[in-house]
Amino acid sequence: MRLPSFNPLLLVSSLATVVVPTSAEYVLRSSSLASCQENSGFTASLFDVVFTPNNLTASINMIATSSIEGHVIFDISIYAYGYPIIHTKVDPCEANLPGLCPMTSGKMSNPFNLPVTKDAIAQIPSIAYTFPDLDATVQVFINRTDGDRAGESIACVEANISNGMTVDLIGVKWASAGVAILALISSAIINGLGFSNAASHVASNTLSLFGYFQAQAMLGLCAVPLPPVVKSWTQDFQWSMGIIKVGFIQDILTWYQRSTGGEASTILDTLHTVSVQVEKVKRSVPFLDSAVGLVERSAGGLSKRAIETSYGSYIVYGIQRVAFRAGIETTNLFLTGLTFFYIFMVMAALCVVLFKGICELLVRLKLMQSDTFAEFRVGWLTVLKGVLYRWLLVGFPQLTIFCLWEFTQNDSPAAMVLAVFFFFGVVITLSYAAYRVIRIARRSVALHRNPAYILFSDPHALNKWGFLYVQFRASAYYFIVPVLVYIIVKGMFIAFAQRAGTVQAVALIIIEAAALITASVLRPWMDKSTNSFNIAICAMNFINSIFLFVFTDVFGLPRLVIGVVGVVLWIANAAFALILLLMLIITTGIILFHNNPDTRYQFMNDDRTSFMKSQTHLATTTELDALGATARGDGKLFKRSDLEDDESAMSNQEHTAARAGSPHSGPYSNGGSIRDSARNSVRSSFRAPVDPVSGTYPIEPHHLRGKPSGSVRAPSPFGASGSSTSLSHGTPTGSKPPAGPP
């Protein structure tokens, strides 16, 4: 079959990947031409073809070099998702193509337009103009037609096409970012109003959703060749990694890099003279390296950043691919992520300070009651520290990947210093925070037989360190350590294995499988619904890692299978992300307009609600709180940490018991040690006063009413996991309480 008046370059522009239309007019475009044969006699450093079917013309602008002389014929194949849909041959002499009959060696650099017949347009399926990110390729073999070597292929070129339709949409980015930010703000407001139980649920689900967005972005950062729809989908979530293009910020970062001894890349500035190919074929295949003549060059400051082909174009992959699609120079990517991490941290701090000022102003103007957000207004500095710590945890994945990646790039000495400072600084800071949480929990277990007591009753610990454990059940306070290790290990493989996509895919399967098994077995989150939410995210991340392994093509699967898997990944994750977003929006909305949102959630089994200051229990614990505050000498609002009180109280009790021979110490108390008796004394200081006549509590907690006064399972402060204790004089079960006065 032959098509009159039709050019292979035009056919290359007729079918392929699809990106957003800037107008209602159908457009097919190709912006790169790659060689697909070893020692190809036809190469192009610039290739730009725009085909508009409405006016039956194709505009071609290319800078090509040909070493072919004589008569040739073009053998053209068009593939959609790897499936051949059109195969034809074109004789340039019959098609009257200028300069191609016969072909002559030399350089071609003159733009020109070619007419296209209606018969040729009729062979292009209508879906090619409308389907987003269509995975289609046009491959052209140039074969000899004369001499003894007639029929031999002397060149091969391949191109991908775009129609302007894509799933990489600015609306998706703003919608996902807006929901996550508004949900975090809502959780902070709900917590400030005293509904800590509801606030912890909203915050936990929001951070889990944000982590899912980051996992989607990490797929795009891998060096595995991805189908077009997957590249576009993962690009929607790169904002969660701080990859956001702002023109003046890019200018500042380029200046900073050059002024500190670095050499900025200029790929984006040379697009009008050089083609940049987004890697589509697995780089580790030896044939690819020999076919396109890949060489690592140091010219132009592009070594370690983009691969330059022997004919002058560039190939980007992995992290570089994401930077190129975002319109950011690869040498600015690390500084871009770091800059926006810092900007968001400063904005979070300013929001806390501004909210503090607004609250104080409203109270002075008597537009707000003095006890509204009272605890926040007193301990706002501690809250500010907790907010900054929380943002360190949120930004930890992006800092890990980009800082470690910068170690392999060395964009400038100053950038290397920043990478070292931020990576090790954040790792040490979060490790110290995790250590503090574990230490506090162990002290709480030692003093009160329940880790939830100090972790959730001490406002200083809760506001400063709560970001690490509030989403977990009290007995799983340590789970933040596996989370940090998971982020570091995953980031190391993504950053250091940029030249080995298969290694990244295999590593991610193992990492995500371990995360899914751990989450399913331990179920460390605060309640059943939160566990289900997070386990579902872990399961989807594991499925995505399997898809990523399929894209490496280590099994030699047909391109059609790989293309279909890419579409399945997009549809599955789009549906999953939409469900999570709707769940978060609906839940947050109901909570904001609910009179008492804490009642929507079942109380956690770790008994944290007995220790947290929540509006739900204020009515039932007012008298006990007042008695406890009077006994401790505290006012309505206090700044001092209960943890510090525990430490000082224990120390004082030990010394007092040692000096005065307390009847509750050493040899006088069932063989217990001085430290044990001091702990008993500290525990008793948190209890309501005991009636000296009856030896019982004068005010019986509502959850003990109707139970025998002998031995019961102790509630707070001992916690749900506490052992049976006597309500007489706070002594352990089995010990005889001292007799009361006659």
Q: What is the pLDDT of residues 436-470, one digit of tens each?
A: 999 999 998 898 888 888 888 887 888 888 888 88
pLDDT at 420: 95
| Span 101-157, pLDDT tens digits | 777 787 777 676 767 777 777 777 777 788 888 787 888 888 888 766 677 788 888
Residues 6 or more apart in contact with residue 184 via CB below 8 angstroms: 203, 206, 207
Extents of the domains making up the chain: 28-161, 170-241+303-366+386-593
**Of the ranges 107-111, 140-144, 591-595, 660-664, which is most confident?**
140-144
Between these two residues, 46 and 533, which has the higher pLDDT value? 533
307-309: strand order across its sheet: 276-278, 314-316, 307-309, 294-295
pLDDT band per the 50, 70, 90 thresholds, residue 674: very low
pLDDT exceeds 60 at position 251 = yes
Cα–Cα distance list, 742 to 43, 56, 167 (Å) = 108, 111, 84
Collapsing DSSP to helix, strand or coil, 217 comes out as helix
Choose the most confident range, by mean pLDDT, from 141-150, 512-521, 560-569, 708-717. 512-521
Total length of the chain: 742
- Identify the pLDDT of residue 587: 83
pLDDT at 272: 57
**Range 28-161: architecture per CATH:** Distorted Sandwich (2.70)
pLDDT beyond 80 at 303: no
Residues 331/257, Cβ–Cβ less than 8 Å: yes
Q: Report which of 261, 219, 250 is spatially closest to residue 334, judged by C-alpha positions.
A: 250
Mean pLDDT calculated for residue range 685-708: 42
Rounded Cα distance between 198 and 653, Å, is 38
Mean pLDDT of the chain: 74
3-state secondary structure of 315: strand
Quickly list DSSP for 687-726.
SPPPPTTT-S-SS--GGGTTS-SSEEE--TTT-TTPPEEE
Q: Which amino acid is at 260?
A: T
DSSP structure string for 317-345: -THHHHHHHTT--GGGHHHHHHHHHHHHH
The structure tokens listed for 713 are 């399972």
Instruction: Indicate the pLDDT class of residue 600, thresholds 50, 70 and 90.
Output: low
Helical spans, DSSP H, in 101-195: 118-122, 170-192
Q: Are 283 and 501 in contact (CB under 8 A)?
A: yes
pLDDT at 175 over 80: yes
pLDDT at 739 (0 to 100):
47
Higher pLDDT, 661 or 309: 309
48-57, 146-155, 607-616, 645-654: range with lowest mean pLDDT: 645-654
Which pLDDT value is given to residue 308? 60
Residue 5's pLDDT band, with cuts at 50, 70 and 90, is: very low
* Cα(187)–Cα(204) distance, integer angstroms: 9
Among the ranges given (185-189, 414-418, 710-714), the one the predictor scored with the smallest mean pLDDT: 710-714
Q: Is residue 628 scored above 70 in pLDDT?
A: no
Distance in angstroms (rounded) separating the CA atoms of residues 608 and 456: 6
| pLDDT of 687 strictly over 70 | no
Token reading at 437: 């949480």
pLDDT value, residue 333: 92
Contact indicator for 397, 479 with CB cutoff of 8 Å: no
Name the phi and psi angles at 2, rounded to 5: -130, 145
pLDDT (0 to 100) of residue 299: 35
Cα separation, 382 vs 464, whole angstroms: 6
Give the best-scoring range by mean pLDDT among 53-57, 290-294, 309-313, 367-371.
367-371
pLDDT of residue 636: 42
Identify which has the larger pLDDT, 593 or 449: 449
Q: Lowest mean pLDDT: which of 146-150, 271-275, 720-724? A: 720-724
Q: Which of 1-10, 363-372, 382-391 has the lowest mean pLDDT?
A: 1-10
The better pLDDT of the pair 687, 13 is held by: 687
Instruction: Give the pLDDT confidence score for residue 197 in this predicted structure.
Output: 76
In the chain, % of residues over pLDDT 70: 69
The pLDDT score that the predictor gives to residue 605 is: 57
* Residue 624, pLDDT above cutoff 60: no
pLDDT tops 60 at residue 660: no
Which range is least confidently modeled, 119-128, 243-252, 442-451, 606-615? 606-615
* Residue 352 vs residue 189, higher pLDDT: 352
Kindly report the three-state secondary structure assignment for every residue of 571-614: HHHHHHHHHHHHHHHHHHHHHHCCCCHHHHCCCCCCCHHHCCCC
Note whether 684 and 481 are within 8 A (CB): no
List C-alpha distances in Å: 28 to 17, 51, 78, 113: 9, 5, 14, 15
**Helix, strand, coil % (nearest 5) of the chain?**
55, 10, 35
Alpha carbon distance 611, 458 (integer Å): 8
What SS3 string covers 383-435?
HHHHHHHHHHHHHHHHHHHHHHHHHHHCCCHHHHHHHHHHHHHHHHHHHHHHH
What pLDDT was estimated at residue 451?
87
d(CA 120, CA 122): 5
Of the segments 536-540, 614-618, 676-680, which one has the largest average pLDDT value?
536-540
CA 528 to chain centre: 23
State the average pLDDT over residues 49-62.
79
Q: Are 222 and 608 in contact (CB under 8 A)?
A: no
For residue 65, give the amino acid letter: T
How much is the pLDDT for 601? 59
pLDDT recorded at residue 681:
43
- Mean pLDDT, to the nearest integer, of 390-399? 92
Residue with the larger pLDDT of the pair 573 and 739: 573
Write out pLDDT tens, residues 483-509: 999 999 999 999 999 988 999 999 999
Phi and psi dihedrals of 136, rounded to 5?
Answer: -135, 150
Reading the block at residue 173, the tokens are 């980015």
Q: Inform me whether the pLDDT recorded for 675 exceeds 70.
A: no
Q: Is the per-residue pLDDT at 255 higher than 50?
A: yes
Question: Closest Cα to residue 15, out of 168, 225, 228?
Answer: 228
pLDDT value of residue 735: 43
Q: What value does the mean pLDDT take over residues 15-19?
A: 33
Residue 728 confidence (pLDDT): 37
Q: Is it the case that residue 642 has pLDDT exceeding 90?
A: no
- What pLDDT, on the 0 to 100 scale, is given for residue 524? 92
306-362 tens-digit pLDDT: 666 655 567 888 899 999 889 898 889 999 999 999 999 999 899 889 988 998 898
Q: Please state the φ and ψ torsions of residue 390, each to the nearest 5 degrees.
A: -65, -40
Under 8 Å CB-to-CB from 737, ≥6 apart: which residues? Answer: 695, 726, 728, 729, 731
